[in-house]
Amino acid sequence: MFGKILKLLLLTSLLGATAGGIGYWLEANKYPKPAWSDKEIKAITSLSLSKLPPLPPDASNAVADDSAAAALGHRIFFDTRFSGNGEVACVTCHQPDKYFTDGLSQAIGMGITRRSSPTIVGTAYHPFVFWDGHADSQWSQALGPMESSVEHGGSRMQYAHLISSDDGYRQQYEALFGKLPDFSNENRFPPRAGPVDKRASPDVATAWEAMNAADQKLVTRVYSNIGKAIAAYERLLMPGPSRFDAYADSLSTGGAPDYKLLTPDEVAGLRLFIGNGRCIECHNGALLSNDDFQNIGTPLMEGKPFDFGRSIGVNMVLKAEFNCLSEYSDADAAECAELRFVKRVGTDLAGGFKVPGLRNVTQTAPYMHAGQLADLDEVMDHYNKAPQPVFGHSMLTKLDLEADQLDQLVAFMQTLDSKLATSEKWLQPPETASNPH
C-alpha cells in the first residue's frame, strides 16, 4: 500500500514539475496533439509575429521616428479642423476600436468614396499603400484624402493657415521643420487654395492657379510636412501577439506545442491555412500579407463599373506628387528601389488589389476593396468557389472544401485577434490622453 502511495506522489510531483500539475495535464488532453511535420512547423513559425523584423527606416521621411513628430501627427490625426466642413478627421475612417477601419463598405467623409477604408496598423512595413498601391509611403498616403472632395474635402492652403495660426501647432511644427513662412497676406495666400478637383471645388482650384509657383511650393512644403508628421504617428500603430503567435512560438522551441492555446477546430483551420486551403500562398509572413496585388474575382458593386485596381494605381504612384522620388521626399534616388523597379505592366495587374494582412481580421468587416463581402463566412465561400472575374485573370483555384472546413478556417482566423502593441495614449484623442507627448 505504501509503495502505491509513493508511486502516486512521485507521478504527481513529475506532472507538477513538467506540465503545471495534474489539472494542466487533464485540461491539455482535451486539445489535439497534431503531428506537425518539419515542413509544417517551418510554415507555421514563419507566420509568428516574433518573426517580424525591426521596422526599417523611411528614408523619404526625415522625422519618421521622431517622437515630437509623432505627437504633432497624433494631434492632427484626431483634429476635424483638417477638413472642408470641420467635421472630418483621419480618425473618422480609421477608428482605433475597429482596428483603425470604420466598419463601412465604402468610406464616408464629405462624400462617399468608391472603396472601403483599409486598416493603417502595420502599414509602415508596406512598400505601397491604398488598395491599389497608388502611394509608396505613409506620409504620401495621408495627404491624398486631405484634399479629396469626398474625404476631408479641404485644401493645402487651408491647412497651412491652420498650422500657422494655431499657437500650439505653430510651436510643434517649427520645432521640427523650422520657421513657417508668413502666410498673413491673403492676396498671396488665400484662405483656401490647392490643386484639387476643379469640378468639385472650382473656387479653390482657381485660387491655387492664381498663385505664383514659388508661393505654391512654400505651401506644398508645409503640406508635405503635415503628412510626414501624421506618418510618424502611424508608425507607432502595430499589432500585438495573439494566441496563434504563442502557439507558433511554442512549436519553434523544438518541443511540444502548448496544446491549451488552440481548440481542435482552430488547429484544423491552421492545417488548412498552410495546406489545402492555400491561404499561405498570399497571406504569409508575420503580417500575413505578401504585399502583392491580386485579382481574385471579387464581385462588382451593383451599378458600379469594373475597378481596374493595380493597373491604374501603379501609374498613379509613378506620377505622384509626393512619391519617394519627388522633390518633397527626403530620400536619395538610390533609396527608392521599390518605386524605381516596381512592376509597371502585365495582364495580372488588371483588377488586382492589395493582399490585406489578416491580423485582427475579425474586426475589419466588411471585406474586400469595396466591402463586397459582409463577413468571413462570405469570404470563405468566395475563395472556395473561386468565381471568374469580369475582367482579367483570377489567381484563385476552386478549393471544394466542406462546410465544416470553411468554419475551421474562420475559427483559426479568430486566433489572430490581439491588442495593439501601441501605448493606450496614442489610441485616444490627445486632449483625453493622460500623456499625449
CATH code for the domain in which residue 140 is found: 1.10.760.10
Alpha-carbon distance 260 to 282, whole Å?
Answer: 28
Evaluate whether residue 17 is within a structural domain: no
Mean pLDDT of 42-65: 97
Q: Are residues 48 and 83 in the same domain?
A: no
pTM as predicted: 0.90
Evaluate whether residue 188 is within a structural domain: yes
Q: Are residues 224 and 82 in the same domain?
A: yes
pLDDT at residue 19, as a whole number: 37
- Name the band, by pLDDT with cuts 50, 70 and 90, for residue 410: very high
Domain count, the chain: 2
Minimum mean pLDDT among 49-53, 134-138, 395-399: which range? 395-399
Pairing verdict, β 353-354 and 293-294? antiparallel
Cα 295 to chain centroid, rounded: 19
Q: Are residues 258 and 357 in the same domain?
A: yes
**Enclosing domain of residue 285:** 28-55+242-414
Evaluate whether residue 410 is within a structural domain: yes
Q: Which residues are within 8 A (CB) of 212 and not within 5 positions of it... i.e. 6 or more apart? A: none
pLDDT higher than 50, residue 14: no
Q: Are residues 165 and 50 in the same domain?
A: no
Which DSSP category does 354 fall into?
E
Alpha-carbon distance 280 to 287, whole Å?
Answer: 11
Q: Are residues 249 and 287 in the same domain?
A: yes
Q: Are residues 115 and 48 in the same domain?
A: no
pLDDT at residue 32, as a whole number: 53
Q: Are residues 231 and 146 in the same domain?
A: yes
Measured CA distances, 421 to 55, 85, 231, 242 (Å): 13, 33, 17, 11
pLDDT at residue 258, as a whole number: 80
* Percent of the chain surpassing pLDDT 70: 90
Average pLDDT value over all residues in the chain: 91
Q: Are residues 215 and 350 in the same domain?
A: no
Is the preceding omega at residue 366 within 30 degrees of 0, hence cis? yes
pLDDT higher than 90, residue 256: no
pLDDT higher than 50, residue 5: no
DSSP 254-277: TS---TTSS-HHHHHHHHHHHTTT
Residue 309 · residue 393 · CB < 8 Å: no
Chain position carrying cell 466598419: 103
Evaluate whether residue 134 is within a structural domain: yes
Mean pLDDT of 143-155: 98
pLDDT tens track for 354-388:
999 999 999 999 999 999 999 999 999 999 999 99
pLDDT tens track for 269-292:
999 999 999 999 999 999 999 999
Mean pLDDT of 298-309: 88
Q: Are residues 87 and 212 in the same domain?
A: yes
Evaluate whether residue 97 is within a structural domain: yes
pLDDT tens track for 122-141:
999 999 999 999 999 999 99
Evaluate whether residue 124 is within a structural domain: yes
Count of C-beta atoms within a 10 Å radius of residue 434: 8
Mean pLDDT of 58-74: 98
pLDDT higher than 50, residue 161: yes
Q: Are residues 44 and 113 in the same domain?
A: no
Q: Are residues 133 and 102 in the same domain?
A: yes
pLDDT higher than 60, residue 18: no
Q: Are residues 196 and 155 in the same domain?
A: yes
pLDDT higher than 90, residue 265: yes
Evaluate whether residue 343 is within a structural domain: yes
Evaluate whether residue 1 is within a structural domain: no
- Return the sign of the alpha-carbon dihedral for residues 258, 262, 265, 268: negative
